[in-house]
Chain A
Amino acid sequence: MDILVTQVFNGLSVGSILLLAALGLALTFGQMGVINMAHGEFMMAGAYTAYVCQQVLGDAGLSLLVSLPVSFVVGGLLGVLLEVTLLRRMYHRPLDTLLVTWGVSLILQQLARDLFGTAGVDVPAPGWLSGPVEILGFSFPRSRLFILVLAIVAVVAVTLLLKLTPLGRRIRATVQNRQLAESAGISTRRTDMLTFFLGSGLAGVAGVALTLMGSISSNLGTSYIVDAFLVVIIGGIGQIKGAVIAAFVLGVAQSWIEYSTSASIAKVIVFALVVAFLQFRPQGIFQVRTRSLV
C-alpha cells in the first residue's frame, strides 16, 4: 500500500510539473499552432528570475511569492518580444518557426551562461516548504505538494480566463476563425500578442516551480520541452482538459515504470507507448479545430 500511494503521488508530482510546463504551450502551440522551441528557455528565464529575486530580497519565503508574478511577467515579455519581432511574420510557415525559435532558445541559453555562469545555482526553498507533511499516515514532501497545488491553480485560472473573460473569448474566437474574428472587429494581432504573453508567462511560473526541484542551469528548458510538447499533442491540440489528463497519465506511467526499471528505460518505454497511442489516435485524447492545424 505504501508503495502504491508513494508511486501514485510521485506520478502526480511529475505530472504536475509536466502540466505547468505544458500549460503555456497549450496556449501558444495548442491554441495558436506556433511551434515555439524557446518555450523551455522561457521556463529557464522564470527560474533565474526566482534566483535573482532571492538574491535581491534575501528571504526565501517572500522571494518565492514575489517571484511567481515577476517570473510570469518576465516570461510573458520575452514571449511578446519573440512574437512581435519574429513569429508574427511566420504564422503560416511552421518549419521556419521551428528553426527560428530553436535558434532563439540557443541564444537565450548562451545569455544565461554569460549572466549566471555554467554551473547550476540553487534557489533554496523557504522553511514552510521544507520537509514532509503527514496526510493519513503517509508522508509527502511539502515542495511537491506546493507544485501540485500551483499546477491546479494555474489550470483553473487559465480555464476560467478562456471561458469567462473578454480576452478568453477573443482568443477562442481568433483560434476558431481568424478572418471572421478580424471582420467582427477583434484585433487578431493584439490577441496573438496577449495569448503569447499569457502562454510564455505560464512558462515563467513553471520555471519558478522547477527551482523547488533542484539546481537550475542554462539547459533547464531542454529537459522539459519535448515532454511538454508531448503532453499537448497527447491531450489533443487546443484542449486544456486533454493536457491535464495527458500530463498526469504520463507522470504516473513514468513513475511506475521507473520504479521497476530505471529512469532512462522508463523514458524509452513511455515514448514507445506514446508513439503506439498516436498511431491509433493521432488527434490525441480530445480534438478541436485550430487555426493552423485543422
Chain B
Amino acid sequence: MEEVDVAYGRTVVCHGVSLEVPADGVAAVMGHNGAGKTTLLRAAVGLLPVKRGRILLDGEDVTGLPPNQRVKRGLAYVPQGQQSFGQMTTAENLQVVADGRRRGAALIDEALDLFPALKELSGRRAGLLSGGQRQQLAIARALITEPRLLILDEPTEGIQPSVVAEIERTILELTRRGGLSVLLVEQHVGFALDAAGRYYVLASGRVSAEGSGGATAAVDVRSAMAI
C-alpha cells in the first residue's frame, strides 16, 4: 500500500498509510479499536474505495479493481467476525468458492486437511457452527482461492482458546510452506509478532510505529500502543 487515504464519505479514517507485506512472509497490523485497521484491510480488498494512494499486488496496481477481480489475482480475505454464508452448508460454503476452478475438488480436500474438524460438519449449515468452526471455515474458504496474499482480520477474536491455538498453528504452518504472504490484523500481540516478519502499529488512522517482528519487538509495540 502506498500513501493510502480511506474515507467514509467526507470523514477520512486512514491517512497516508504505507505498508508492505514481505514476499512469502507475514506483516502484522496492530492498534487499538477504532485505529482504522479493519478499514485499511477493507480498502486493500476493494470493499471500500481508496481516496488517494495505490494498492499494489506483486507490482500490479489493483486499486481500481472490484474485490472479485483482486481475488482472481491472488488476494484472499478473511473478514472479522467469523463470517460465512449461514444458510448454506459447510460443504456448500467451500464448493461455492471452488466452482469453476480446475483443481476445485483437490483444493477443497487440501483445505479440509488443514482443518479436519470441518470434514464431519460438511452437511451442517454454517450458521449453526460455533465461532471457532466458522473461522476455520472462513480460512479454508479463502485458501481454496489459491491466494498469494492472505488478509486476515483478527482471526482469533472471540474464539475459545483451544481453537485459537489451532488457528494460530495453521497460520504459522501456512507461512512456513512458502508461496503465501499474510497480512494479519491481530490484537494478540504475542502471536502477531511470533508470526510476523514486519509489524505496523496504527493509531488514529496513521502508522505510528513500524519495524521488524519477533519477540524483541513486543516492547516497542506495546509502548507504541500505549501512546
Interface, chain A (partner B; CB < 8 A): 166, 169-170, 172-173, 176-177, 179-189, 288-289
Contacts and interface: CB of A to CB of B under 8 A. Distances in A.
Nearest to B72: A185
Contacts of B92: 169, 172
B47 A184 contact: no
Summarize A's interface: helix, strand, loop or mixed.
helix
Contacts of A187: 66, 68
B77 to A, nearest CB: 5
B90 to A, nearest CB: 13
A182 B85 contact: no
B97 interface: yes
B145 A182 contact: no
Nearest to A238: B87
11 contacts: A172-B92, A172-B96, A173-B88, A177-B86, A179-B67, A183-B71, A183-B77, A185-B72, A186-B97, A187-B68, A189-B66
A281 B46 CA distance: 39
B207 to A, nearest CB: 24
B196 interface: no
Given A176-B86, A186-B68, 8 more contacts: A169-B88, A169-B99, A170-B99, A177-B86, A180-B83, A185-B97, A187-B66, A189-B66
Interface string B69-93: 0011000010100011111100010
Q: Give me the 6 closest cross-chain CB pairs, A-B, nearest first.
A: A185-B71, A166-B99, A169-B96, A182-B67, A183-B77, A183-B67
A184 B71 contact: yes
A182 B142 CA distance: 12
Contacts of B149: none
A11 B86 CA distance: 36
Given A169-B92, A179-B47, A184 B87 contact: no
A228 to B, nearest CB: 24
A166 B100 contact: yes
B66 to A, nearest CB: 7
Interface string B156-196: 00000000000000000000000000000000000000000
Interface residues of B, number: 25
Contact of A188 (B45, B68, B77, B99): B68
A290 B72 CA distance: 26
Nearest to A186: B68
B198 interface: no
B141 interface: yes
B39 interface: no
Nearest to B87: A176
B95 interface: yes
Contacts of A183: 45-47, 67-68, 71, 77, 79
Contacts of B100: 166
A159 to B, nearest CB: 14
A173 to B, nearest CB: 5
Nearest to B146: A185
Nearest to A187: B68
A36 B84 CA distance: 29
Given A169-B92, A177-B83, A184 B141 contact: yes
Given A169-B88, A176-B86, A185 B95 contact: no
A182 B47 contact: yes
Contacts of A180: 79, 83-85
Given A180-B85, A182-B47, A169 B145 contact: no
A185 B87 CA distance: 19
Contacts of B67: 179, 182-183
A189 B66 CA distance: 10
Nearest to A189: B66
A144 B66 CA distance: 48
A186 B85 CA distance: 13
Nearest to A179: B47
